[in-house]
Structure 1
Amino acid sequence: MESNLIIFDQPVLYAEGLSKLLSQTKILDNIQVCSCYLNLQHFLESENIDLLMFSSNIMMLSEIYQSVDEIKQKNPNLKIIIIGNDYDVTSIRKLFNKGITAYLDKGSSFDEFIDCVQALLAGNVFLCTQAKEKMISFVSNGKTLEVTQTKDSLTKRETEILVLICDGLSSKDIAEKLFISINTVETHRKKILTKLNVKNSVGIVKYALENNIIE
């Protein structure tokens, strides 16, 4: 199955440079560059797009919120990567609530971007190291986010797997890391989804952000 990415960013020179670097990795079949929102809407309507990289260079945060809402309503299966401009924890959380699948910060490296793309192609979500560090700092300063109450608390193993899911690891990767079978990982994953009352890995990341358990 082909994998297609749109890079929605400015300046065009930077976006085209990123496109060429990504082409060399051969992990994506088609990469297109777009710098106009109207053109982006046309691409999404007329072509089969899997991934969208949405940069904060091109819009203010409030505009990104609105655009992600609009895009996800029309393209619910589209996986959106946001490249943020040093956004705070609350803003990142809101972006995931809007429906993004991955968050990278402007300080993220190209290698981390590749890790992000591979995680999304494998059906996982991704949160960059820099954003996780902000979460740790947020919590260590005594701040809290609104806590989501769950019917049943997670076990120690389920919490461990939850963190690895937030790291973008696939069930196979988690199984290898924890020395357990893939079937065991899938069983834990299903229990996590049931306990948190969420439908997918995006919901798991939201829960982790809201409950300050990403480390």
Structure 2
Amino acid sequence: MMKPRLIIFDEPMLYTEGLSKLLRQSKIFNTVDICNSPEALSEQLTVETPEFLMISSNIVILTEIYKLVEDIITHYKDTKIIIIGNGYDITDIRRLFDKGIKSYLDRNSSYDEFLKSIQALLLDETYLCEYVKEKMLDFMSQKQGRGKFQMRDSLTKREVEILKLICDELSSKDISEKLFISINTVETHRKRILSKLNVKNSIGVVRYAMENHMID
């Protein structure tokens, strides 16, 4: 299988050159190119469309990122876009996913988490960084504690516990071992959670929470 190509649209050059060197050493990508201007990015996309494109908030503001993502998805629909945000709120992140991005990391995300997001995208999955997941879960817990967290059918205490573990990317087997319950029981809880939220998977849980303003 041919290794994917990556374009990094970011600055300063010292940072991007260091990141590109690390990524080349990881041998995940066939090529890693750097662009530090919209003109350079446009030229690179035209010459050889990459499978992955990382766009940083260091180089364009959020409103420009929205438009850029729209334009790229329109002309290069197979390019998977990763956004490196700058403390964006949940509604902004939701809008970015609605525009077509596949991964969101924040400025405090580690290099290891960047690699983790790449692995998710290689499996045709979407990725949301741990920082945003924690922010979402904290909000949900606070609402639950105050009795103000509502959905079509309220989650039980156990379901909220399992939901958090699902968001931590634990498998049913891992959850069963952690909570000392059977895998069948975990699967039953999982199905009930998805049913109550009216979603198909854990990504759907995140999107449901965003769309219904459960998280700030």
Q: Same fold (TM over 0.5)?
A: yes
Alignment of 1:65-214 (within 5 A): 65-140=66-141, 142=143, 164=166, 174=171, 196=199, 205-210=206-211
Compute the displacement of 1:114 (Å).
0.8
Pairwise CA distance, 1:74 = 0.9
* Identity of matched residues, %: 46
Higher RCO (CA-CA < 8 Å; seq separation 6+)? 1
Return the offset for 1:105: 0.5
Aligned counterpart, 1:153 = none
Please identify the structure whose Cα radius of gyration is greater. Answer: 2
Alignment correspondent of 2:155: none
Matches within 5 A, 1:20-31: 20-31=21-32
Task: State whether residues 96 and 202 of structure 1, in contact with CA within 8 Å, keep that contact through their aligned partners in structure 2.
Answer: no
Change in 2 beyond 3 A, CA 1:139/1:178: closer
Deviation >6 Å, runs of 4+: 200-204
Q: What's the CA shift for 1:46?
A: 2.2
TM-score when scaled to structure 1? 0.71
Runs (5+) with no aligned partner, structure 2: 145-150, 153-157, 177-182
With normalisation by structure 2, the TM-score equals: 0.71
Residues 75/204 of structure 1: CA separation in 2 closer, same or farther (3 Å cut)? farther
Paired residues in the alignment total 189
Contact kept, 8 Å, 2:80 with 2:102, in 1: the verdict is yes
Measure how far apart 1:30 and its partner are.
1.1
Give 1:19 shift. 0.2
Separation in structure 2 between the aligned mates of residue 53 and residue 98 of structure 1, nearest angstrom? 15
Change (3 A) 1:211 1:8: same
Q: Runs of 5+ in structure 1 lacking a partner?
A: 144-148, 151-155
